[in-house]
Structure 1
């Protein structure tokens, strides 16, 4: 999220989840539900592949 210059708190508010949940996703301790993952793609203006680290460029 640092790449997009958006805070975990802001992402949480936009996605309708708690900031600790976003923190756990960022640290790899948990993963978001599929519907929330889709919301994250929209919020961060990223493809699913980018968010999963699968972007091969």
Structure 2
């Protein structure tokens, strides 16, 4: 997660998940649970649409 300069480790700690889990999300090998996804949007200060790469 270099776009906002937040490390995978820091995100993992904030979401109470493992760093390898966040790494899998970043590289599209897994998806977070909905509750973690919503928290991730808050942490990254972005909308769900933007995080998913959808154009609005």
By relative contact order (CA 8 Å, sep 6+), the higher-ranking structure is 1
Query: TM > 0.5 between the two?
Result: yes
The runs of at least 4 consecutive aligned structure 1 residues that moved more than 3 Å come to none
Q: CA deviation at 1:52?
A: 0.1
- Find the counterpart in structure 2 of residue 45 from structure 1: 45
- Find the counterpart in structure 1 of residue 9 from structure 2: 9
Q: CA deviation at 1:42?
A: 0.5
Length-normalised TM-score, structure 2:
0.94
- 3-state SS, counterpart of residue 40 of structure 1: helix
Gaps of 5+ in 2: none
Q: Count residues in correspondence.
A: 56
Length-normalised TM-score, structure 1:
0.93
- In 2, distance between residues paired with 1:16 and 1:39? 11
